[in-house]
Amino acid sequence: MKDLCNYSLLAHNTFGIDVRCSRFLEYETTEEAQQVAQVLASSDTPYIIIGGGSNLLLTRDFEGIVVHSVLKGCSFQGTQMVCGSGVVFDEAVAMSLDHGCYGMENLSLIPGDVGASAVQNIGAYGVEVKDVIVEVEAVEIATGRLCTFTNADCQYGYRDSRFKHEWKNRYLITHVTYQLSADFQPHLDYGNIRAELERCGIAEPTAQQLRQVIIDIRRAKLPDPEEIGNAGSFFMNPIVSREKYEALAAEYPGMPHYTVDAMHEKIPAGWMIDQCGWKGRSLGRAGVHDRQALVLVNRGGATGQEVVDLCNAIRRDVRETFGIDIHPEVNII
């Protein structure tokens, strides 16, 4: 178990914010997770649990304990894949395809770790990870007890789960089990997947071809955190009533949308931010990416508070223009 004091978190957040924590604990086995749980349970010090830092905005030094998993390893039981919480999620997607197990292709290149995928219910291109999660194994911090939660137990919603609410900071995730399929059934009707396949001359893609197209689309739209600090999509796409959508569609012909159900529509937050004129603009050293308005970036030396100030300015303009509140997908600390 790694146990360090006055530790820099620069390498643990893709926004590239250089702040420190009082103590840093890292576990690489279930037994070490139980040791960490004992430390946390016996201390009055505040703590936070982080994943790969790709969905995190740090605004200040943290006077407490930061916990991180590097628990690796993936195994297969038929079409079920069991992954350690510290496995890079995209590596898990690649491994699933290598083993002829399908269902995660549209989630390719989403940054972050396996453990965080189960907390956040990550999703992209019409697929959410809840669609394939069977169970989540975790250590209860208060008792050190190893628990197993079903998909239903986790109460997954759009970018949401019980781990973000009543279970927040109560468990250390150790493993996630995904139920995949030996039968490849591609999901192609979201965003510009079909257009990109057509451009590549692919009529009926293999799973590997679909994965590569998803990767190409993401790389074309989203900046590399190694080159410019960012946390990917900063805002969640709002879900509004059909009545609200129809009123806006009458005012903005051609407004993109995705039907959620008979009563609700999802409107891309990036489109609204772009309509408000924010794409490519900056506020101090924080800015909006010039190719994808959903992405906020650190243009160099930005503080977490500068990114928060930009976030708030964008939210205000979207609210005033469209009458819709958009909310950060990123965890702000």
Q: Taking residues 63-78, what's their average pLDDT?
A: 97
Asked if residue 214 lies in contact with residue 125, where contact means CB atoms within 8 angstroms, the answer is: yes
Which pLDDT tens digit goes with each residue over 242-255?
A: 999 999 999 999 99
Backbone angles phi, psi at 25, to 5 degrees: -115, 135
Q: What is the pLDDT of residue 140?
A: 98
108 given a catalytic annotation = no
Nearest to 284, CA basis, from 249, 259, 266, 308: 308
Helix residue ranges per DSSP H, 150-301? 151-154, 193-199, 207-221, 242-251, 269-275
Q: What CATH code would you report for 229-332?
A: 3.90.78.10
63 given a catalytic annotation = no
Tokens standing for residue 46: 């505040």
Q: Beta-carbon neighbour count of residue 187 at 10 Å?
A: 14
Q: What is the pLDDT of residue 328?
A: 96
Q: Considering the candidates 85, 96, 108, 233, report the single residue annotated as catalytic.
A: 233
CA of 84: how far to CAs of 148, 219, 234, in Å? 14, 26, 26
Domain 2-69 CATH class label: alpha beta
Where in the chain are the domains?
2-69, 229-332
**pTM value surpassing 0.85:** yes
221 has a pLDDT exceeding 90:
no
pLDDT category at 307 given cuts 50, 70, 90 is: very high
Q: Beta-carbon neighbour count of residue 142 at 10 Å?
A: 11
Q: Considering the candidates 128, 135, 137, 329, report the single residue annotated as catalytic.
A: 329
CA distance 248 to 251: 5
233 given a catalytic annotation = yes
Q: Considering the candidates 159, 161, 196, 211, report the single residue annotated as catalytic.
A: 159
Q: Taking residues 118-127, what's their average pLDDT?
A: 94
pLDDT category at 191 given cuts 50, 70, 90 is: confident
Which pLDDT tens digit goes with each residue over 38-54?
A: 999 999 999 999 999 99
Which pLDDT tens digit goes with each residue over 243-286?
A: 999 999 999 999 999 999 999 999 999 999 999 999 999 999 99
CA distance 218 to 125: 10
Q: What is the number of helices (H) and of strands (E) in the chain?
A: 9, 20
- pLDDT > 70 fraction of the chain, expressed in percent and rounded: 100
pLDDT category at 190 given cuts 50, 70, 90 is: confident
